[in-house]
Amino acid sequence: MRQTALLTCLAAAGLLAACEPVPVAPAPLPPSDECGAAGYQGLIGQPRDVLAQMNFPLNTRVIGPDDMVTADFRPERLNIEYGRNGRIEKVSCY
């Protein structure tokens, strides 16, 4: 009888523990646009050759699919990434 009561109490405790509210993570902050990447989003899908005709802020990086880049985070640095097909895929600050 004691084992049945003990098992019933443990089962009830387990069910109550399952009812604990799950903490919700706060929504991530939108990425900053310190480098002005929002103004260059129209480049996405364009061939990378169009970049030769444009002027960009100092320290802008044009990054190819196999290019190695430093891992330092600089939110004021504009990065333009193109894929193997030669088309611009991403413009962002990092």
The model's pLDDT over 37-76, given as tens digits with 9 standing for 90+, comes to 999 999 999 999 999 999 999 999 999 999 999 999 999 9
Cβ proximity of 75 and 35 under 8 Å: yes
The model's pLDDT over 7-32, given as tens digits with 9 standing for 90+, comes to 565 555 555 555 566 677 777 766 67
Cβ proximity of 90 and 44 under 8 Å: yes
**Domain spanning 2-93: CATH superfamily:** Trypsin Inhibitor V, subunit A (3.30.10.10)
Question: What residue spans define the domains of the chain?
Answer: 2-93
The pTM score is: 0.68
Main-chain dihedrals φ then ψ at residue 8, nearest 5 degrees: -65, -45
Tokens 């802008």 correspond to what residue? 60
